Amino acid sequence: MQEFVLIFRTSKDPHANPSPEQIQARMNWMNTVTDQNKLADKGNRLATGNAKTVRPGNIVTDGPCKDTEEFISGYMVVRTATIDEAIELAKTNPILRGGGNIEVRTVL
C-alpha cells in the first residue's frame, strides 16, 4: 500500500465556514474512507488568516499564495494500492459538488 495526500482546494471565500449540511456530507465521506481502512491521516483544515508566503530573495507576503484564485482549504492522507484508487476516492468527495477540486499526490 502507498500513501497519497489529497489536497483540497476551493475558489470560494476561504474564511467562510461550511454549512451544517456540508459538514455532515464531509463527515459521511470521511467515515466511508475510514470504513474502507484507507485513512492514514485525517489531516486538518488550514487557516488563511494566519498565513505567510516566503518567496526567493527573503520576501515575505501576507496570506497564502495570491497568484491563484484557489485556496488550499485542507488535506488528508489516504493509503491505497495505487494512485488510481486514491483518485477514485477523491472523485466521491463532496467538495467537488461545491466547485472545489482535489489534488492527489504520492507521499514519498
Total tally of structural domains belonging to the chain: 1
User: DSSP assignment, residue 51?
Assistant: -
pLDDT tens-digit series, residues 46-99: 776 677 777 788 888 776 656 566 778 889 999 999 999 999 999 999 988 888
Q: Read off the pLDDT band of 10 (50, 70, 90).
A: confident
Q: 0.75 exceeded by the pTM?
A: yes
Across the chain, where does the E strand assignment appear? 2-10, 39-45, 52-55, 59-62, 71-80, 101-106
Q: What is the CATH number of the domain that holds 37?
A: 3.30.70.1060
Domain extent at residue 73: 2-106
Distance CA 55, CA 33 (A): 36
Residues 6+ away with beta carbon under 8 Å from 82: 2
